[in-house]
Amino acid sequence: MTGIVNILIILAVAAFVAGRQFQARKVTADRRFWVVPLILVAVALQNHSLIDPQHKATAIVLLAVSAVVVMAMGSVWGWTVRLWRESDGSIWAKGTMATVAAWAGLIAVRVGLYGLGDALHIHESTNALLLTLGVLLFTRGLVVNWRARTLDAPQPLRTVA
**C-alpha–C-alpha distance, residues 66 and 60, integer Å:** 10
| Tens digit of each residue's pLDDT (9 = 90 or more) over 95-129 | 999 988 888 888 888 889 989 988 999 888 888 88
**Amino acid letter at 103?**
W
Could you tell me what percent of the chain has a pLDDT over 70?
A: 90
Cα dist from 101 to 19, 73, 98, 104, whole Å:
15, 11, 5, 5
Per-residue pLDDT of the chain (161 residues; tens, 9 = 90+): 466 776 787 778 777 877 777 889 888 876 688 898 999 899 888 877 788 889 889 989 999 999 999 999 999 999 999 999 998 888 999 999 998 888 888 888 888 998 998 899 988 888 888 899 899 999 999 999 999 988 876 555 565 55
